[in-house]
Amino acid sequence: MGYLYGIMDISDIIQIIAILLECAVVVIAMLIATRNKKMYGWLIAITFALFVLFDLIRILWENGLSGIHSLLLFVACVSMVYAVWLIYNDTKKSG
Distance (Å, rounded) from C-alpha 36 to C-alpha 84? 16
Give the residue numbers spanning the domain of 41.
Answer: 9-94
Distance (Å, rounded) from C-alpha 14 to C-alpha 20? 10
Asked if residue 22 belongs to a domain, the reply is yes
Task: Answer whether residue 1 shows pLDDT above 70.
Answer: no
Tens of pLDDT, residue by residue over 38-49, are 999 999 999 999
Domain count across the chain: 1
Asked if residue 3 belongs to a domain, the reply is no
Mean pLDDT to the nearest integer, 41-61: 93
Could you tell me the pLDDT band of residue 85, with boundaries at 50, 70 and 90?
Answer: very high
Asked if residue 59 belongs to a domain, the reply is yes
Asked if residue 29 belongs to a domain, the reply is yes
Asked if residue 79 belongs to a domain, the reply is yes
Asked if residue 34 belongs to a domain, the reply is yes
Distance (Å, rounded) from C-alpha 23 to C-alpha 51? 9
Asked if residue 1 belongs to a domain, the reply is no
Tell me, what's the pLDDT at 6?
61
State how far Cα 43 lies from the chain centre: 10
